[in-house]
């Protein structure tokens, strides 16, 4: 594991040559600032709410890599006073799906900070998120000697064909995507790193019913008190050193956890599926996911009679999808 981590860090250092600083405002990062990291492409519709949501949670500076956007994303981000922006036209797949670039930025700017690494279609929530910001959460995690915080991706979706529900930049996506699967998730611990592996939800139910092991992985560790020697292994699903993957307790207690509300199923997903299938940049073996992309282009309806409407975080906790884990 130590040698693997060193190889990942070496890849990240080499990848810095892919990045061109469009707006480097990192000199404004203050001591103890909570930082946000993301790689994006053509997310001008999602970004206004994404940025505002995480600002309200307490992220004070965003470090973002734009991978060849042509929809105004680059200009939108460059105009944000709390965003440092790098651009690249290099291969997303060849950079370990953006993780080499982000690992370099985490090494260079994240050391000693609590760092939130999320995609533009992910919105972090956690117990008390509507009344306690990330400063309160991370201070509690520091006192508990927990340098990481886990979250499950929760796919949210509309009732009816996804493209039939228009969404406009700046709107709350939860108003358009108010439904989720309350059950049907499988969880196990993977070795040798001891990370969780969670699968299920509407994508597994709709697109991978005959091959459930191919369904997308839902577990992530998005919030970490970063050290320059850390490295994400597979997106933010797992990290090295392995102790950072122990986001669960094994003595019968519950560890604190949150959710990443996954806004993938806005109406843009239909056209985007066609584009991403053609690019072949999102999976190690893109041919295996052709049927998945084809199903998305057919404007699917993910709603079913068992779907549950989003209400409060307490309702999500009662379903076992997140936990306070001792944080009162």
pLDDT of residue 278: 67
In the DSSP assignment, the letter for residue 271 is H
Angle at 147 (CA atoms; ends 17, 224), nearest 5 degrees? 35
Instruction: Divide the 328 residues of the chain into consecutive groups of 10 and give the mean pLDDT of each group.
Output: 95 97 97 97 97 98 97 97 97 93 98 98 97 97 96 97 95 97 95 94 92 92 98 95 92 86 93 70 58 85 97 96 90
pLDDT of residue 190: 92
Looking at residue 67, its pLDDT comes to 97
What does the DSSP 8-state code read for residue 30?
A: P
Whole-number Å distance between alpha carbons of 182 and 322: 12
- pLDDT score, position 279: 64
Which helix H or strand E contains 8, and what residues bound it? helix 2-15
pLDDT at 295: 86
Residues 6 or more apart whose Cβ sits within 8 Å of residue 278:
none
What pLDDT score does 211 carry? 87
pLDDT of residue 274: 73
Give residue 287's pLDDT. 58
Contact 169, 180 (CB under 8 A): no
User: What DSSP letter does each residue of 102-145 carry, written as one string?
Assistant: HHHHIIIIITTSEEEE--TTEEEE-TTTTTS-HHHHHHHHHHTT
Domains of the chain: 2-318 (3.90.550)
Alpha-carbon gap, residue 9 to 227, rounded angstroms: 12
């Amino acid at each position: 594991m130590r040698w693997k981590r060193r190889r990942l860090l070496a890849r990240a250092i080499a990848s810095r040559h892919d990045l061109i600083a469009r707006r480097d405002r990192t000199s404004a990062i203050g001591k103890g600032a909570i930082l946000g990291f993301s790689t994006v492409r053509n997310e001008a519709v999602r970004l206004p709410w994404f940025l505002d949501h995480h600002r309200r949670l307490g992220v004070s500076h965003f470090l973002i890599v734009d991978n060849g956007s042509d929809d105004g994303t680059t200009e939108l981000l460059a105009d944000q006073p709390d965003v440092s922006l790098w651009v690249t036209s290099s291969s997303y797949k060849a950079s370990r799906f953006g993780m080499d670039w982000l690992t370099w930025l985490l090494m260079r700017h994240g050391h000693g900070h609590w760092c939130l690494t999320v995609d533009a279609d992910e919105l972090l929530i956690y117990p008390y998120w509507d009344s306690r910001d990330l400063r309160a959460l991370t201070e509690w995690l520091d006192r508990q000697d927990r340098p990481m915080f886990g979250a499950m991706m929760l796919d949210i979706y509309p009732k009816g064909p996804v493209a039939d529900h228009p969404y406009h930049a700046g709107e709350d996506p939860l108003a358009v995507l108010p439904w989720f699967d309350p059950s049907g998730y499988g969880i196990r611990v993977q070795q040798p790193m001891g990370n969780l592996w969670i699968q299920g939800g509407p994508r597994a139910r709709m697109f991978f019913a005959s091959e459930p092991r191919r369904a997308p992985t839902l577990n992530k560790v998005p919030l970490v008190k970063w050290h320059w020697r850390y490295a994400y292994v597979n997106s933010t699903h797992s990290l090295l050193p392995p102790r950072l993957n122990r986001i669960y307790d094994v003595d019968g207690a519950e560890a604190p956890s949150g959710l990443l509300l996954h806004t993938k199923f806005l109406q843009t997903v239909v056209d985007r599926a066609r584009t991403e299938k053609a690019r072949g940049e999102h999976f190690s073996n893109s041919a295996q996911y052709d049927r998945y992309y084809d199903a998305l282009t057919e404007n699917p309806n993910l709603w079913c009679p068992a779907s549950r409407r989003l209400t409060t975080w307490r309702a999500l906790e009662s379903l076992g999808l997140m936990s306070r884990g001792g944080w009162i």
